[in-house]
Structure 1
Amino acid sequence: MEGNRKLQEEKVFKDPVHRYIHIRDELIWDLIGTREFQRLRRIRQLGTTFLTFHGAEHTRFNHSLGVYEIMRRIIEVFDGREYWNGDERLLCLSAALLHDIGHGPFSHSFEKIFQTDHEWWTRKIIVGDTEVNQVLRRMGEDFPQKVADVIEKTYPNKLVVSMISSQIDADRMDYLQRDAYYTGVSYGHFDMERILRVMRPTEDQAVIKNTGMHAVEDYIMSRYQMYWQVYFHPVTRSAEVILSKILQRVKTLYADGYSFSQPPHHFIGFFEGTIGLEQYLQLDESVTLYYFQMWQFEDDPILKDLCQRFMNRRLFKYIEFDQHLVLNEWSRLQELFSQAEINPEYYLVIDSSSDLPYDFYRPGEEEERMPIHLLMPDKRLRELSRESDLVEAISGKKRTDHKLYYPAEWLDSPGHEEEKQQIKDILFSPSENKEADFGNG
């Protein structure tokens, strides 16, 4: 194809999840070599999870290569079948490789504090003045925009979009297995080879032959388990809470004109809403952790304490609670924290997680979820939960979990004993769950 050549010799990456990742196209090889893609080596796939599961040091770079490899295998299965257009092969491979290129350090905590969005940055990197854009433009001036459209789910060919973004896609199939491997848990494993073999293209989406239903059930359950055992692990969330509060504190101090020993140069564009692409690309986790390391020695006691907690893994403890606590005791609890000279803005935090393991299409909903369809022997399509009792049991069931995080050791320290006792009485009253275990468990 014009703008792309086959490499003289296939390149391979040795990968612990897929064994080998095969690169045969010069376009893909050159995209991997761009500075924007290499930056993903310095951004962990699972944010603060390494503080809970010490093996979770893998990066967005690992994952992006994995998604590319799964996409390459799906295309091999689709090749020559009805509805599959071979001219879109490089578009699919490029979108799979670049789908996460806009992530920032500790992405989700970062996005919440600075009201930024990695998908917006992904688009900027693909269509902006970057090495990635220069490489993509070899395939035509409109090619970068097409890649961005696929990732943004606005590309007209819905089949192509579904291969990278649906309830069973190359992205999810890689991160579930990869995250399970690096965290050392058994939940995320499912028979991907089987799923790929029975995946078929249709006009609107990739579907699964009905003979592969049990492999898909396994995949859905592994996703469910990974969310609750790994992604929403309370210790990881405690680290995320502290990370968010560090960024919130720095933002507040900067706005108040505080004189930093180590000024937050790399963050000023975020604070002032002037961040440009070049500044954004300079920010990765090694830079962010350098600041956290230095801010352990700031004069501001809150910033200093929060950074020491994050760097030395002295995390907040938590209790599980119900809505009763928020409705009846929340303002009293904040008041008592203030009286005990513990700033509730930074040291009394509610964190909620929720997940919907599988859903079918519900007209009129804000986020349209394309359901998984099974291809029956008579060529009809059947939505998965209509055939699978297991999937039907969890379909559309949103599970939400609330935790209250606080510095438990401060409640046992000298001073303000009366207020601290009242805080404990509220937190551990018989109607509430007792303090949860704070190990890795």
Structure 2
Amino acid sequence: MVNKKLSEEKVFKDPVHRYIHVRDELIWDLIGTKEFQRLRRIRQLGTTFFTFHGAEHSRFNHSLGVYEIVRRIVDDVFKGRPQWNDEERLLCLCAALLHDLGHGPFSHSFEKVFHLDHEDYTQAIILGDTEVHAVLSEQGVDFPKKVAEVIAKTYENKQVVSLISSQIDADRMDYLQRDAYYTGVSYGHFDMERILRVMRPREDQVVIKSSGMHAVEDYIMSRYQMYWQVYFHPVTRSAEVILTKILHRAKLLHQQFFAFKHEPLHFYSLFKEEMTLEDYLKLDESVILYYFQAWQDEDDAILSDLCRRFMDRKLFKYVEFNPNVQMMTLMELNSLFKKAGIDPDYYLVVDSSSDLPYDFYRPGEEEERLPIHLQMANGEIRELSRESEIVDAISGKRRTDHKLYFPLDMLEDFSTKRAAKKKILELLHLTNS
């Protein structure tokens, strides 16, 4: 493997890490590819900017941040340690930089509607006919495959994988701090410097020196708070609900041969489930927003209204909803919405969010999670929750939240069938928080 160095180090000024350092020609060339530059046009937090106006940062920002954390680990923390294979340094750096390469516009909402997986597209970009693949191939014909395997978590050296994807990885350490910075909240801050100092490479994983346990506890609680105060914020979820319904509506209209004034040219292969990698790479948030802006003028009242709501931030209101006891209420609301001439498929939506802040190893279960291990003073390896009462209290405990979203303005403007309107508002009050 050839490891060419730049004649002069390149730096990116960064609000989280102060500077991103690039010394390897391979990394510099990857940053310059069109596939990586596309990440400038994909927001890191999707619709969160509707709630926290500063959340305009991109996947490009985040990817550089993850790279920088991994670079510090392999160059400053692990270098020279007998259990670290320095030959895999470039592999780690490339996987860190490219781990989010396949994200689409508005990321997770977009994926749910069209049944896509950004990790599949990340691997497809790395292995396909792309500039990224050409740059990686200069390190050897099998190098792109190795990078894809790290991202797919199938690479033979699990120590390398754990730096990019585990319960305490560079990805999470960057996005918690970065998202906290751009949203203006304090929840995501933790002592990353301390965690880096107590990280140790060991066999097929990265462990934490036991003296750093409290810094890890703080990190896990920061993650917990960020999910419930930022990532699962109900206003952000309202925007996601509308975004999802716009895409569903446009797909349905296309299937019904609706005569669009503004044809969804960029969506055709998506609607037909014939999406090529070339088509996928042409999609970014500027393209999506162009269509949403144009579709406000469509003759379909639902598509037009939903696009107007998204573009003008006229979001749905919400109330608490318990699916275990309120399904009959939802069914009655569904019927009343139809009588009121409001399509419940688009205007009465239950949205659920769920998170598992930390888990120990549950082999064979869906979404297996490798636990965080502590290296005790005597060299023994212990799983974190067995030593930390704080982590033990939340281990394996999934928290789920349900909200019922609806357009209150439509109900307030609804002037006929007053009895139906009154009953709808009463039922929504019964589900109220």
Q: What TM-score does the superposition give when structure 1 sets the normalisation length?
A: 0.97
How far 1:367 sits from its partner (Å)? 2.0
Fraction of identical pairs, as percent: 71
Q: Within 5 Å, give how 1:271-420 maps onto structure 2.
A: 271-413=271-413, 414-420=415-421
Distance in 2 between residues matched to 1:366 and 1:312, nearest whole Å: 39
- What residue identity is the alignment partner of 1:420? K
Q: Is the 8 A contact 1:82 1:202 kept in 2?
A: no
**Corresponding position of 1:85:** 85
- What residue identity is the alignment partner of 1:23? V
**Corresponding position of 1:439:** none
Distance in 1 between residues matched to 2:45 and 2:278, nearest whole Å: 24
Distance in 2 between residues matched to 1:216 and 1:42, nearest whole Å: 33
Deviates further, 419-428 or 5-14:
419-428
**Corresponding position of 2:423:** 422
Following TM superposition, where does structure 1 have runs of at least 4 consecutive aligned residues deviating by more than 3 angstroms? none
Q: Within 5 Å, give how 1:56-71 maps onto structure 2.
A: 56-71=55-70
**Corresponding position of 1:221:** 221
- What residue identity is the alignment partner of 1:235? V
Distance in 1 between residues matched to 2:285 and 2:367, nearest whole Å: 31
Report the 3-state secondary structure (helix = DSSP H, G, I; strand = E; otherwise coil) of the residue aligned with 1:351: strand
Report the 3-state secondary structure (helix = DSSP H, G, I; strand = E; otherwise coil) of the residue aligned with 1:400: strand
Distance in 2 between residues matched to 1:53 and 1:341, nearest whole Å: 34
Q: Deviations over 1:298-356 (max 9, x none)?
A: 11000000000000000000000212554322222111100000000000000000000
- Structure 2 residue 238 is matched with structure 1 residue 238: yes
How far 1:363 sits from its partner (Å)? 2.7
Report the 3-state secondary structure (helix = DSSP H, G, I; strand = E; otherwise coil) of the residue aligned with 1:428: helix
How far 1:433 sits from its partner (Å)? 2.9
Distance in 2 between residues matched to 1:204 and 1:369, nearest whole Å: 15
Q: Deviations over 1:50-79 (max 9, x none)?
A: 000000000000000000000001112111
**Corresponding position of 2:46:** 47
Distance in 2 between residues matched to 1:119 and 1:360, nearest whole Å: 24
**Corresponding position of 1:128:** 128
**Corresponding position of 1:105:** 105
**Corresponding position of 1:14:** 13
How far 1:409 sits from its partner (Å)? 1.3
Unaligned residue ranges in structure 2 (runs of 5+) = none
How far 1:422 sits from its partner (Å)? 1.1
Q: Deviations over 1:18-75 (max 9, x none)?
A: 0000000000000000000000000000000000000000000000000000000111
**Corresponding position of 1:23:** 22
Q: Is the 8 A contact 1:60 1:100 kept in 2?
A: yes
Report the 3-state secondary structure (helix = DSSP H, G, I; strand = E; otherwise coil) of the residue aligned with 2:297: coil
Aligned alpha-carbon RMSD (Å): 0.9
Distance in 2 between residues matched to 1:73 and 1:416, nearest whole Å: 65
Q: Is the 8 A contact 1:241 1:349 kept in 2?
A: yes
Distance in 1 between residues matched to 2:349 and 2:274, nearest whole Å: 29
Distance in 1 between residues matched to 2:325 and 2:110, nearest whole Å: 28
How far 1:250 sits from its partner (Å)? 0.1
Distance in 2 between residues matched to 1:114 and 1:43, nearest whole Å: 17
- What residue identity is the alignment partner of 1:206? V
Distance in 1 between residues matched to 2:123 and 2:144, nearest whole Å: 9
- What residue identity is the alignment partner of 2:260? F
Report the 3-state secondary structure (helix = DSSP H, G, I; strand = E; otherwise coil) of the residue aligned with 1:296: helix
Unaligned residue ranges in structure 1 (runs of 5+) = 435-441
- What residue identity is the alignment partner of 1:11? K
